[in-house]
Amino acid sequence: MKMNGARIMVEMLKREGVKAVFGYPGGTVIDLYDVLLETDDISHTLVRHEQGAAHAADGYARTTGKVGVCIATSGPGATNLVTGLTNAYMDSVPLVAITGQVPTRLIGKDSFQEADTTGITMPITKHNFLVTHVEELTTVVRQAFHIASTGRPGPVLIDLPKDVQGAETEFVYPEKVDIHSYKPTYRGHARQTILAARAIRDAQRPLFYLGGGVISSGATAELFEVAEKCNIPVTYTLMGKGSFPETHPLALGWLGMHGTYSANKAVMECDLLIAVGARFDDRVTGNTATFARKARIIHIDIDPAEIGKNVKADYPIVGDAKKVIHEINKKLEPSKKDEWLATIKKWKNEYSPPRRNGEILLPSRVVEEVYRLTRGKAVVVTDVGQHQMWAAQIYKVDHPRSWASSGGLGTMGYGLPAAVGAQTGNPSSTVVLFSGDGSILMKVQELVTAVNYRLPIKIFVLNNCYLGMVRQWQECFYDGRYSCTHLENPDLAGVARAFGAEALTVEKAEELEGAVKKAMSVKDRPTLVDCRVASDENVLPFVPPGKSLDEMILG
């Protein structure tokens, strides 16, 4: 059966189980969009900016576990994907980006809307392809999805010239994928798993430190079993929220610069740190010279490049978290850690961030009310900034893939399009977005997308009229010189209504409950709640950059 390249691409997407794509058409992808028009098996969401397409595919992937797919035209369309691809790359999110390219005869001639897309995206993708012959397209697509979703997940880009989309060839589906240079290690070294099990057995103060790799590998059940069997407390990264139930007594909350007091204290006092699917990034470790200085370290990760990159591991294990933890668990017996758990309990009760009284609306109060009224069962998406930290501290996530937030890149503007992707992938779930007045305006045009597709996203903007996190740093380290961080904002509720969304403004704490209930009741469009919160509230605890985790600013 002969097909042209555009039809082959759509057929391959079907074969890969793709149900939703996010994109923005342009001259070099007209052929592809022409085929999508007659396709009922794949829904296409028309975003209003290509960066929004990448973030929407990202939010879809994080909350469904499926590969997210986005489409953009050549030149500016492709370059607009760059931030979203970098975001997905740093957070290990499986995406396949399809970009149009000028005809092969015009490549390298500075043609209209030409950019070296593969060259530009090489550092920010797990792999990329420039397809120059239609005969190779089926193999390329098959390999792209395989690479994106296996091993350490990540984004893969397919650059597809316009003439290749129009060229015809026999369609032959490659049943098997065999890439000689790509063979991820899934099973941990047998001797290392034995040594790790012994270390866990002998430890008096063990601590689990979980990252996003636990969720990617589907290892949450295995981790839960080991933690309960051996009474091991658990902390996690921003990407690891949902890897262990946050309402469980063994959960300490997340660690690092704005992590919980008990989690940071536990890291500094444990005698064995069991890191699973985490990369010891600087926002987690603080000063690496003092990080977990009393502990031996087990580091389990499917990416060998992460082992020992930032912190030396005493027991390095390269492999899939699910498989490795399963093997370690078989070698463990139930154990009690009464003294260690009593110390943990003391730390939990020893400190809570200071709260102000009065009618002023506090940002933490907004998150608490949303958590209370959703009973912790929403899919939560955040933008980046202070609101992100409050959401991570307060909104407890008990299930994997119920949290999507930009971690490694820290991308303001991620939240709204990611929420579009999350709601598209989870149509029966309540999707809540926490954003800031700085972040929401970065990608506010995607509110049109949410309106057009009747996505009932609940958007809570913690509006403090500042770039809040930068303001906090200026207060703490620059003697309160607030250079270019005060924001003169529009009426955000009015802006949302102009886009066709439901909108409310909350200025007092007493108005909050009614506004949240109203937002939850809207089922046919997004609702934006502009929460006018205190402008000078800081996120606490706070570990200053370069300091040790036990040097927290507490008030």
Domain limits, the chain? 2-170, 190-350, 363-532
Q: pLDDT tens digit string along 212-249?
A: 999 999 999 999 999 999 999 999 999 999 999 999 99
357 has pLDDT over 90: no
Smallest CA-to-CA distance from 271 within 298, 294, 299 is with 294
Q: Is 412 a catalytic residue?
A: no
Q: Is 517 a catalytic residue?
A: no
* Strand locations in 261-389 (E): 272-276, 296-301, 315-318, 379-382
190-350 matches 2-170 in CATH topology: yes
Catalytic residue among 11, 16, 50, 306: 50
Q: Is 3 a catalytic residue?
A: no
Q: Give me the mean pLDDT over the 438-453 stretch.
A: 98
Burial class from Cβ neighbours inside 10 Å (0-12, 13-18, 19+) for residue 398 reads: middle
Q: Give me the mean pLDDT over the 191-216 stretch.
A: 98
Structure tokens at 264: 């940071």
Q: What is the pLDDT of residue 389?
A: 97
Q: Which amino acid is at 464?
A: N
354 has pLDDT over 90: no
Percent of the chain with pLDDT over 90: 98
Q: Is 469 a catalytic residue?
A: yes
**DSSP per residue, 80-116:** TTHHHHHHHHHTT--EEEEEEE--GGGTTTT-TT---
Q: Give me the mean pLDDT over the 179-205 stretch.
A: 97
Q: Give me the mean pLDDT over the 169-191 stretch.
A: 95
Side-chain-facing half-sphere of 410: CA atoms under 13 Å: 8
555 has pLDDT over 90: no
**What is the chain's length?**
555
Using pLDDT thresholds of 50, 70 and 90, give the confidence band for residue 447: very high
Q: pLDDT tens digit string along 23-64?
A: 999 999 999 999 999 999 999 999 999 999 999 999 999 999
Catalytic residue among 126, 162, 265, 443: 162
Catalytic residue among 19, 113, 309, 511: 113
Catalytic residue among 9, 90, 239, 469: 469
3-class secondary-structure state, position 431:
strand
C-alpha span between 238 and 264 (Å, rounded): 14
CATH of domain 190-350: 3.40.50.1220
Radius of gyration of the chain (CA): 24
CATH of domain 363-532: 3.40.50.970
Instruction: Assess if CATH 3.90.25.10 describes domain 2-170.
Output: no
Catalytic residue among 112, 228, 339, 510: 112
N-terminal to C-terminal alpha carbon distance within the chain = 70
Q: Is 113 a catalytic residue?
A: yes
Q: What is the pLDDT of residue 1?
A: 86
